[in-house]
Structure formats: C-alpha cells, structure tokens
A and B are shown apart, each in its own frame.
Chain A
Amino acid sequence: MTSATVTLSSEADVKLTPAEAFERFGRRDDAGWMFRARCHRVAPGYAVAIDLPGGCDAQVLGRLRAVMPGREIVIEHDQPWRGQLRIKFERTGAAQTRVRFRAQVPSEGIEWLARHRGASLPLPAPTGARRIGLLTSKSGSGAVYSMAAEYMARLAVEQVNASGGVGHRPVELLIADDSTDHLQARRETVRLIEAGCQAIFACVTSASFSAATAAAEPHDVLMVHPVINEGGMEAKKVIRFGERPEAQMAALSRIVERETGGNRWFLVGQQYSWSFGAHRAAAKILDASGSRVVAQRFTPLGTREFAPIIDSIRASGADVVMSSLVGADEVAFQQQAHEAGLRDLASRVSLVMDECTLEHVGPVAGNGIWTALNYFQSVTSPGNDELLRAYREHFGPWAPPLSSLSTNVYEAVRQYLELAALHPDAAPNHLAAHWRTRKSDQESVGQRNMATQRLYLARAEEDVIRVLDEVVA
C-alpha cells in the first residue's frame, strides 16, 4: 500500500446480528449490500467485483484478503486504483450491529477519480527523466484483463532504472486510463504526448489503439500494441505484437474437434475491429478444416446481458461456442452461459480467457473453457519462476495474477528500453525498424522475441488454466 493514502470512513447501525449482516455480503438478492458486491465465495483469496455507484462505469476489482465471519472483511483492490476496504462488524445489542467501513485511498486514486469526473488536471512537471506512457483500461470492460499490466510496466521500468536507466537518465512511466472508450483513448494519448512521452504502450482494445495511433500520428512518438490483436494498422511508428486469431483458431479448432467431435461453431463477439477480424480468421480456418460457422452475433462493447444471444446459440444447434468477447463482457457471458446450462450443449472456446478474466468468471462457470495465448502463469518455460517471484516481491500476494497481456506489456517495455539504450538518439520510426529486425533466440519469459508467434494451448480447470501443448505458428 502506498504511503500517500487518505482514509475515509462511515458506519451504520443495523438491526441484525453480526453473523446476519456478514452473511448478506455478496448475496444476489435484495438483501445484498456493498453495491451488490460479487464474489464466488466469501473467503480469503477470492476475486471480488463492486460496481462504483454514481454514474461511474467503473468497478472496484480485487480480492478478499481477510475474512472473519461475523467480524471483519478486508478487500485489497487494484482497479480503478490500488487500495483497501475494511468492513468491521461489532455487536451493540441482541440483534443490533454497528458496521464500520474504512477505505484507504491513495492520492493516485483521488487523482483518477477527479479526472474520471471531468477535472482537467495539470500535466506532471518535467523531471529530466525519459518518459514513456502506458495507456491501459482502469475502468470499463477492459479493467478486468488489464489489472496487472500497470504493475508489470512499473516492474520493467524499476528494473531498468535499477541498472542505471537509459543513457544515464532515469525512466519515468506515466499511466493513462482509456476507460475502455476510444474517444477517451484519444484524449489520454494527447495528454501523454504533451507530457513528453516518447513511446506509448497500449494495453487496450484495438478500437482504443486505433484512436490513439491517429492522435499520435503527427508527433514523434512510437506507438506499441503488445497485446492480443487482429493485426493490421502497422506503420513506421506503430508496432503491434501479441497473439493473432488465425494462429489461435488453427490450434484451438484442431484440438476441440479432435477431443469433442464438435464441428458446428457459433461465434459471439463485439462490434469492433478485434471481433470482426477474429471472426473472419475463424471462418477461414474452420472452412479449411471442414467445420462450419452456423451463426455469429456481434454485440456492443459494454454488454452485460446475454440472454438473447444465449437463446440464439440454443436455437442454432451449435456444438462449439467461440467467444471473442473481452473483459467484463466475457465474464458476464460465460457466467450467464453456465447458468443457462450451455455447457451441456456445447464446448466453449474463448480467445481472451487469461488468468484475470477467469478469476472473475469463477472456477465453476469457467471450468472446461479452451483457450490459446502466448503466456500462462503455469508455463514451465525458463525465466517464469523468476518473473513471478519478482512480481510477487514487488506487489505482494494479493496482486492480480499475471497473464499474457501483462507479461507482453512487461516484455515490450523492457525491449523498447534496451533498444533505446543502444540507439539513444534514434527517431521512433528507426527504433521501430530496429525492433522489427531484432534478432533474439531468447526463450526466457520476460525476454522472448515478441515477433515470434508462440502459443500455449490450454484449458480452464476450476481456478487454474492448465497448459496442454505448445504451438509455434
């Protein structure tokens, strides 16, 4: 927990015993409280999501750190800021309880909130450091999958600074939240550029990245999209790494068809370039393998109600459902599909089922989902144990799991800074050219060649993603 923290508190006297008040936390009916906090179990280590009220499209996303039934609940959260919420239950009568709420909010949280509510805050004063930016999603649908991205970018910068920075200058990381909205991505990109960032790393949707690159185009800034995407958009100052749906689908369709015999696919995605590209790639791969797409649906980013789509899946006769939904939308879809009994009708494939998303889908609803990404926490590749250890040492046991998205951000920041140290005066387009032709046969996690398409075929088994095979595309 950062030291610059404001502590806010409130309390309520309720006509319930402490056990009764405690029991209502996380309930789905009208008795649920704390803004219908959602968790799979009220037990330490379980993920928790709380919708912020008051017109914020933001969720407090974190984990239960401590649970003492009838006495105390402690939540450590990472989105939209890193903080702690403590709820204490104190018996004050036979059926009377005083419940105390105490929130620790760091100054970054207050700054995020002020900005989110429309305040125009000043740019950070120049420090002499080499500045880079991270455009990430701290709110909106993407907050679920980008939880660890900020931490991993910070870790990369801290490690580089510990070894002397770049060209004897320290590196400073500025963070911006696109709110999973392309217009906000454009505004925040301009802010990062005005603050002097020489490169911007984007852990955002393709829609946001497209808007960000358009905003950056007139400037001498390198734009990097290191996370899963549909491809395209590359330019002299624009680099995209990450998994591609063609390779994912080629690997996934083979194993799903072999293991389940399913060959009638229903595709569900969102109305923007990522899903459009992913579904085109899926249709091509499936067609070539003799399977077919029986139907597909696209829904706006931010959808939380999937009953009509689930009805369409039932009516289609599909035996495999492939989802290209991301973040909180994917969480809602997979949970509702599970509750509707879809698992008994069809196998489920998800293109973006990383550890952070699975944690919120939950061990029961997520069980059995097939996926393929270029990193999972459970990989046995060299360097993974060291990276996980460094992450936990920096951010503690309650920080969100690592995933392909956050690891790709880490690798991109490290590799960019290494190239910047080798070519300190190179313009962004020249650095991009060096990066594209960078020769590396490094296999260690954290230093892998990002241009190589490597995938791990995996399946969710309760609360872990089990790696089944490695595929080099």
Chain B
Amino acid sequence: MRPSTESLAFDALSDGVRRQILAILSEHGECTVSEITERIDSVGRTTVSSHLRVLRTSGVVQERKVGRYRYVRLDADGSVREALDFLQRIMTQAAEELSASASTAEPRDPFEEKLAVG
C-alpha cells in the first residue's frame, strides 16, 4: 500500500538536514536552492538537492522554476507546514511583544523576585 502523504510528511522530519531546511523556509519564506545551501554548513548543494526531493515527494515543500533558479517554499496546504507556520508566527509574535514592551512601563530592579502568578 502506498503510504499517505501525511505519513510521508512525518517521515520527512526524521532527518536533521531536512529539518534544518524546513526551519529555514519557515523563518525566511520562499528561498532559492542556493540560498538554502548557503545557510547549511554541514552538507553541499547536491545533498541539499536530494533532501529537497524527499521533502517535495512528501508534500512538505513546493518548488517552482523561474529561469535558472529553483524557488522552494513550504507546501501551502500541508499540516506540517501549517504547524511549522503556526510555531514560527508564535516566535515572531514573541519578538514583536518584546519590542512593544520596550515602549511601556518603567523597568524595575532586575534582581527583584518575581511574584507568583501561575
């Protein structure tokens, strides 16, 4: 029986380089293959390409070609992409929340004990 796309998607997460690719796409959105390769020190372009092929087959990423460039992005409909996107939004929101915090309330003594709230 052919494994389902979802099952393949979670298998795709079993490799460290593939997880790194997903994290890059999650943080930076659509990237070219060269941009992905530049951000991964551990392996070369050929290995990155072969991992991208696994991710594409699993339905985790989508690819489009423009001239000489191949652009890769997380699959717009996959549950893995959706979960990663959600997590990335949370991370971005945490950063934005801190930026907003910088413009409110006076700082306190950094060593003051925090009150119990939950």
Contacts and interface: CB of A to CB of B under 8 A. Distances in A.
B102 A110 contact: no
B46 interface: no
B113 interface: yes
Contacts of A29: 105
Best-buried of A11, A12, A15, A38 by chain B (most CB within 10 Å): A12
B19 interface: yes
B116 A335 contact: yes
A34 B91 contact: no
B5 to A, nearest CB: 9
B43 interface: no
A16 B16 CA distance: 36
A6 B74 CA distance: 14
Interface string B11-37: 001101001101100110000000000
A19 B111 CA distance: 10
Contacts of A120: 6
B7 interface: yes
A22 B99 CA distance: 13
Interface string A10-32: 11111110011111101111111
A121 interface: yes
Contacts of A5: 19
Q: What is the predominant secondary structure among interface residues of chain B facing chain A?
A: helix
A35 B95 contact: no
A33 interface: yes
B67 interface: no
Contacts of A338: 116
Interface string B91-118: 1111111110111110111111111111
Classify chain B's interface size. 35 or more
Interface stretch (A39-47, A156-164, A198-206): A39-47
Contacts of A437: none
Contacts of B92: 10
A107 B16 CA distance: 11
Interface residues of A, number: 67
B79 interface: yes
A114 interface: yes
B88 interface: yes
Interface in A40-68: 40-42, 49, 52-54
B98 A14 contact: yes
Contacts of B110: 19-20, 22-23, 69-70
A282 interface: no
24 contacts: A7-B19, A10-B27, A10-B88, A10-B92, A13-B99, A14-B102, A30-B101, A31-B101, A31-B104, A31-B107, A38-B118, A53-B90, A54-B90, A69-B110, A99-B98, A101-B94, A103-B91, A110-B83, A110-B87, A111-B83, A125-B7, A335-B118, A361-B116, A362-B116
Interface of A: 3-16, 19-24, 26-35, 38-42, 49, 52-54, 69-70, 99, 101, 103, 105, 107, 110-111, 113-114, 117, 119-122, 125, 328, 331-332, 335, 338, 360-365
Given A4-B13, A10-B91, A27-B114, 12 more contacts: A6-B19, A9-B91, A14-B98, A15-B102, A21-B102, A22-B110, A30-B104, A30-B105, A33-B101, A70-B110, A110-B80, A110-B87
